[in-house]
Amino acid sequence: MKLKEKVAVVTGAGSGVGRAIAQRFAREGAKVVVSDMDIDAAKETLSGIEARSWVAFAHRADITREEDVEHLIDAAIEHFGTFDILVNNAGIMDNMVPAAEITDELWHRILDVNTTGMMRTIRTALPIFMKKKQGVIINMAPSASLQESRAGLADTASTYAVFGMTKNVGFQYANEGIRCNTIAHGKGNADEAAGIALFLASEDALLVNGEVIRADAGWLAY
């Protein structure tokens, strides 16, 4: 098992890619904190994990709230005694709203979840990882935003901010044994994306840091 005895926190784990990552990590031996703003969805993911006798618990967290982020990480350590892997999967879309039509409300909502929320989880995790001299951060982002005309303004702006944070954190904390990468996911199913996340979380990817890995089956290759 590639993640035996590791502890992973997965945000946005109530459905889709987040659920697939939580399940794959648990299958590979990780103890998983299944986090989502929708606790019922998180519990549904948890049920699938526990049905296979894997180890996890569900925790409600709204990453736009600093106290929720702190409680999430505290809960992981309280339950499992440590914390090794952070998967930032929580995110929302802007429905392709272009620059001339974007409202301040939508702009701030998208960036608060997709960018600032991710910053909060990273900021909270880093001191723990630095103390351990190891840690893995995996960010999820839509590959459509790599091709600016295929996403709305707020989505594109928030995604490029994630790319920048990924490279900055990867470089700034490399000497602390911390790796930070982003999966830009497009085409393909959730299980396939989870396989890439597993690779990045494992020791197979020790030399992969500060990278944006495009996982879209060549959709943006042209």
- pTM score of the predicted model: 0.95
Both tokens of 199, joined, read 């690779």
The residues spanned by each domain of the chain are 7-215
> Do residues 189 and 137 make contact, with C-beta atoms less than 8 angstroms apart?
no
CA–CA gap between residue 122 and residue 115 (Å, rounded)? 11
> Do residues 120 and 65 make contact, with C-beta atoms less than 8 angstroms apart?
no
Neighbouring C-alpha atoms within 13 Å toward the C-beta of 143:
17
- What's the fold here for domain 7-215? Rossmann fold (3.40.50)
Residue 150: per-residue pLDDT? 63
pLDDT tens for 104-126 read 999 999 999 999 999 999 999 99
pLDDT tens for 1-18 read 999 999 999 999 999 999
> Do residues 121 and 69 make contact, with C-beta atoms less than 8 angstroms apart?
yes
Q: Say which residue the tokens 């926190």 belong to.
A: 9
Largest Cα–Cα separation, the chain: 51
